[in-house]
Amino acid sequence: MSLMIAALVGLAVGAHIATWGMYKDSIHESFGAGKYARSIVVGAVLGPLGAIAAGVDVTKPSGVLLLFGLTYALERAVTEFWKTFIRDEDQSKYFIPMQFHVMGRVVRNRWMRLGVGLGMVSAAVGLLALARSFEPATGEAASFARAAVIASFGGWFSAFGGAFKDAPVEGFETFKFFRSPVVAGLYGTAVSSFTTSYPLVALVAIGFTVATLETYKTFFFPSKPRGKFAGKPVLFPEMLVRRRAFVPLYVAIWAGVVITFVFAFVTTHTA
């Protein structure tokens, strides 16, 4: 039963990611069922694996909430690693290359890209190990302030990676650079009520940070193209209407997350 719940959480995560991705990209690339299903399948696989690895109890609302954020972070890490360091694709359709590049020049050597990617994974693992060293002693509650700082690690990792990728092409944006660390810190404070594992806090916080910022960029500014398609023409204008059919699903998933958080908070603080 727990694995079934974890798989359903993963499906919800995948559908959430697939929807904002489709909503922004489909007007430039059209709609592809296979591409839309990719994140859903990856999420369904990573949900149970994440639950087992992190040891979260998905029979509790707090466990479901933690797994949602964790799976979000894992799916984004796996998918972006594949797109950036492994996949070979024509980059001419993009304003900002999606494959690993230096100052806008794509690194064509796949082994070199893979080496850089593995280096980044090693750095991320090192940060998680550092976070673990700050965990409270057995029986002690997590510190909100410490959780916020540690959760911001993931935000800084994302901010520096994003600046390295985007700034040489579109210029440095101060608000964009500091946005992820601040939001991740806030989420870290919120989820530290449900676990004393700081590596888990950091991963869950960055997962919810991505979900929140992508929602903000996608649905609060629907007419503004994603950075990778800046200045590119709308090739499939029919998707401006068709994509709206997916919005109720997206809203329903967010509603489920909010309701789960409320139940998790209530049950945790009244136990």
* Domain spans in the chain, listed from the N-terminal domain onward: 2-270
State the alpha helices, DSSP H only, in the chain.
Answer: 2-29, 33-54, 61-81, 110-132, 144-170, 174-191, 198-219, 239-242, 247-270
pLDDT digits (tens, 9 = 90+) for 111-140: 899 999 999 999 999 989 988 888 776 656
pLDDT digits (tens, 9 = 90+) for 79-119: 999 998 998 887 777 777 788 888 778 888 888 999 999 99
pTM: 0.91
pLDDT number for residue 206: 95
Structure-token match 């530290």, residue found: 192
pLDDT number for residue 140: 63
pLDDT digits (tens, 9 = 90+) for 31-75: 888 889 999 999 999 999 999 999 999 999 999 999 999 999 999
Measure the CA–CA gap between 161 and 167, rounded to whole angstroms: 10
Measure the CA–CA gap between 96 and 78, rounded to whole angstroms: 20
Measure the CA–CA gap between 119 and 127, rounded to whole angstroms: 13
pLDDT number for residue 229: 77
Measure the CA–CA gap between 30 and 86, rounded to whole angstroms: 23
